[in-house]
Amino acid sequence: MYGAGDVRVENAPDPAIQQPTDAIVRIVRSCICGSDLHPYHSLPASERGTPMGHEFLGVIEDLGSQVSGLRRGDVVVAPFAYSDNTCAFCREGLHTSCLSGGFWASGGVGGGQAEAIRVPQAQGTLVKLPVGEDSELLSSLLTLADVYGTGYHAAKQAHVNPGTTVAVIGDGAVGLMAVLSAKRLGAEQIILMGRHDARTKLGIDFGATDVVPERGAEGVEKVRELTGGQGVHAVLEAVGYMNAYETAVGVVRPGGVISRVGVPQYEDAAIGFASLFGPNITLTGGPAPVRAYIDQLLPDVLEGRVEPGRVFDQAIVLEQVPDGYRAMDERTALKVLIQP
Amino acid sequence: MYGAGDVRVENAPDPAIQQPTDAIVRIVRSCICGSDLHPYHSLPASERGTPMGHEFLGVIEDLGSQVSGLRRGDVVVAPFAYSDNTCAFCREGLHTSCLSGGFWASGGVGGGQAEAIRVPQAQGTLVKLPVGEDSELLSSLLTLADVYGTGYHAAKQAHVNPGTTVAVIGDGAVGLMAVLSAKRLGAEQIILMGRHDARTKLGIDFGATDVVPERGAEGVEKVRELTGGQGVHAVLEAVGYMNAYETAVGVVRPGGVISRVGVPQYEDAAIGFASLFGPNITLTGGPAPVRAYIDQLLPDVLEGRVEPGRVFDQAIVLEQVPDGYRAMDERTALKVLIQP
């Protein structure tokens, strides 16, 4: 990406092992993330493009000498942050704060919207998948790289359980995965706030019990009506804009939790007596430590009990990536799968 | 209180039963709260004074016809909010959001800095104490009305446990009770941020392992030094000013919790990627549902295993209440006990 709206597909040097803890992965599936749209809207123009993409699965092509437990030819999925899986933060399940970790497409590491990628901390980062590279499950398995784990993080951080009433703000892929996750954790009332028919229908398939297309004060009122006037125990906020935060404050119940996984596009917001403090609201969330959740979420995907891959409604090849960004930006696609 | 700095002791009509759920309590001990200093600094002058005080224990003098489980002559303590102890919020332990509840010194209910008070929702609100009105434990028992329960709320909301490193911001009575509560919950490192010698010494008696008198960036650096550079799992913020919030963000560890019980004197603050979201910080807290904690905290007080009443370092009679406010405002007193 060379600036807002300027995505180009270019030849780049093949990645190679640099550290003994690296691996090289040939990418079999990757995709475009809702969060990629933020730079697509606002990245300053530059002569030096930046690599893009942080969700991929593929086949191990090469391994550094210190990587054990993995072999060439293994089909693996990578979380959207790499991590050693051994440091104090990883041991607490916060792989996104790994002391040896980092994020794709920065600091000399490539992006996932590519044919191949160098994976630092390969042993801690990559999770072997017991499928072939022609498996029909690849789309669903790819969601473990980000959106399913991110939706699950929202629900886990909000302590969703069978007694919890839930509102999910946003019907993008992460919002829909938050619905699926709340359902998995037993929530009996899951209100999806979104206005795109095809997406909210998928949300109902994933477990939403109510859909509220209204926004702002009207949307808040609708959610309150659906919860006996009291609001919901857990708000899973999967958008990141200030109006989504304001809606979250409006629909949450006293004593409830606002769990954010949409990357905030604001820094300051209301958290004083009138908003969070007076009614004892908890605010939580952040970049999901997806690595911590893959092992938990994998069996249901492998056994077909859930189909998170249904969020992909368009598939393209690498050369079409600029069209993929456009489709997601124009909301003609929910989430675009890339098959290099 | 007739305005900032203007506290008067006046004769008022004796309270009487108004609802069948009321009780009348003759007050045996009450006190002045750090939060009473906020109106003491900023209340607009008015011809009609407002009653003050929300912490008291006393003897039941009269009971409405629908109150059961209590008798005239019982020694009782009241939490700083009254509540029915039966509604949906009370059942979830959030008595400060009780659907039939409210706060002292507002809405036609008197304050605790008085000789007697009408207690709405008496059956849900008052907790019988198995002591006489001459007990030496009265000071410690009075802390169950607010400061001990409030400090405990901070620690509980932060999920303090034996593996948690804790920083307490503020060496007022609530801060010291937060230290005692963190200790009770098993924390092994408790860093008290405060600069008043007599108070931090008491904090050490209550369980603080380190004292950091520095403020701002210097204080943040000291706490980071004491925690191997990583910050603390739990920050118990018992001040309420913006600089305390900023310190909290500075000393908390990625994945950690900021638990606020100091009433925020601000509405907007930083909660975006750079402050809370990026490092997955949880922000929690609010007015403590003290009623929910009295039963848990009472046995240790009755058996003398803890002495929270040591926060009272000055005792006055009702006529001296204006002096008591002055002493707390000038910090010549930590917390002032009132013996009507």
Residue pair A87/A98 in contact by the 8 Å Cβ criterion:
yes
Average pLDDT, chain B: 97
Task: Categorize the per-residue pLDDT at B227 as very low, low, confident or very high, splitting at 50, 70 and 90.
Answer: very high
* Cβ-nearest to B286 among A94, A277, A285: A277
Answer whether residue B340 shows pLDDT above 90.
Answer: no
Q: Do A289 and B271 touch (CB under 8 A)?
A: no
Residues 6+ apart with CB under 8 A from A226: A189, A191, A210, A212
Task: Categorize the per-residue pLDDT at A51 as very low, low, confident or very high, splitting at 50, 70 and 90.
Answer: very high
- Whether domain B23-146+289-338 has CATH 1.20.200.10: the reply is no
What DSSP designation does B51 have? -
CB crowding A63-88: b at 16 or more within 10 Å, else e: bbeebeebeeebbbbbbbbbbbbebe
At B29, which helix (H) or strand (E)?
strand B23-31
Average pLDDT (B84-112) is: 96
For residue B28, what are the CA distances in angstroms to A214, B61, B113, B142, B146? 54, 12, 10, 10, 16
- The values of phi and psi at residue B292, to 5°, are -70, -20
Q: Where exactly are the structural domains of chain A?
A: 23-146+289-338, 151-285
Best of B277, B281, B284 to mutate (most A CBs within 10 Å, chain A): B277
Q: Do A254 and B285 touch (CB under 8 A)?
A: no
For residue B4, what are the CA distances in angstroms to B1, B48, B107, B108, B329? 8, 13, 21, 21, 12
pLDDT at residue A298 in the model: 98
Quick: pLDDT tens for B114-164.
999 999 999 999 999 999 999 999 999 999 999 999 999 999 999 999 999
Task: Categorize the per-residue pLDDT at A163 as very low, low, confident or very high, splitting at 50, 70 and 90.
Answer: very high
Chain A contact for B163, CB < 8 A? Answer: no
Answer whether residue A340 shows pLDDT above 90.
Answer: no
Interatomic CA distance for residues B308 and B177, integer angstroms: 7
Task: Measure B131 CA to nearest chain A CA, in Å.
Answer: 33
At A28, which helix (H) or strand (E)?
strand A23-31
* Cβ-nearest to A255 among B97, B254, B271: B97
Average pLDDT (B237-249) is: 97
Answer whether residue B281 shows pLDDT above 90.
Answer: yes
3-state secondary structure of B290: helix
Quick: pLDDT tens for A103-151.
999 999 999 999 999 999 999 999 999 999 999 999 999 999 999 999 9
Residue pair A21/A121 in contact by the 8 Å Cβ criterion:
yes
* Cβ-nearest to A267 among B89, B272, B289: B272
Quick: pLDDT tens for A232-286.
999 999 999 999 999 999 999 999 999 999 999 999 999 999 999 999 999 999 9
Interatomic CA distance for residues B127 and B124, integer angstroms: 8
**CATH fit for domain B153-285, picks 3.40.50.720, 3.20.20.150, 3.40.50.1820, 3.90.870.10:** 3.40.50.720
Q: What share of chain A is helix, strand, coil (3-state, %, to 5)?
A: 35, 20, 45
Chain A contact for B12, CB < 8 A? Answer: no
Q: Which residue in chain A has the smallest CA separation from B254? A: A97
* Selected residues 71-90 of chain A with any CB under 8 Å from a CB in chain B: 88-89
Quick: pLDDT tens for A185-206.
999 999 999 999 999 999 999 9
Chain B residues with CB-CB distance to A282 below 8 A? 157, 282-284
Chains A and B form CB pairs within 8 A to the count of: 110
Q: Do B283 and A285 touch (CB under 8 A)?
A: no
Task: Categorize the per-residue pLDDT at B62 as very low, low, confident or very high, splitting at 50, 70 and 90.
Answer: very high
Average pLDDT (A3-19) is: 97
Q: Please state which CATH class domain A151-285 belongs to.
A: alpha beta
Q: Do A272 and B266 touch (CB under 8 A)?
A: yes
Answer whether residue B170 shows pLDDT above 90.
Answer: yes
Answer whether residue B94 shows pLDDT above 90.
Answer: yes
- Report residue A151 as tokens: 């939706």
Task: Categorize the per-residue pLDDT at B201 as very low, low, confident or very high, splitting at 50, 70 and 90.
Answer: very high
